[in-house]
Homo-oligomer: A and B are copies of this chain.
Amino acid sequence: MKRVIDTRRRQFILSGAGAAAAAGFGSLSPAALAQKSKPLPDYAAYKDASRVIVHSGKTIETKRSGFGTSVIVPDDILYVRNNLPAPDPMIVADRDAWVVSIEGVRNPRKITIGELKTIGIVTVAAVLQCSGNGRAFFPHKTSGSQWSVGAAGCVIWSGVPVSALAKAMGGVADGRHFMTGSGDEKIPAGIDPKSVMVERSVPLEAMESALLAWEMNGDPLPLTHGGPLRLVIPGYYGVNNVKYVDRLAFTENETNAKIQASGYRVRPVGQKGKPGQPSMWEMNVKSWINHPAGMGDTVRAGMVQINGVAFGGTKGVRLVEVSVDGGKTWNDAQFVGPDLGKYAWRQFVYPVRLKPGSYTLVSRAIDEDGNAQPAERKDNHRGYGHNGWRDHGVKITVS
Contacts and interface: CB of A to CB of B under 8 A. Distances in A.
Copies held by the complex: 2
A341 interface: yes
Interface residues of A, number: 77
A7 B69 CA distance: 29
Given A4-B46, A68-B215, 17 more contacts: A4-B45, A8-B222, A9-B220, A12-B95, A48-B219, A68-B219, A69-B215, A70-B158, A70-B215, A70-B216, A72-B72, A74-B219, A121-B349, A123-B336, A338-B339, A338-B341, A338-B344
A11 interface: yes
A336 B3 CA distance: 39
A117 B14 contact: yes
Interface in A89-123: 89-90, 92-93, 95-96, 114-123
A124 B223 CA distance: 29
Interface in A220-255: 220, 222-224
A33 interface: no
Interface in A25-58: 42-43, 45-46, 48
Contacts of A95: 10, 12-13
Contacts of A157: 70
B8 A224 contact: yes
A76 interface: yes
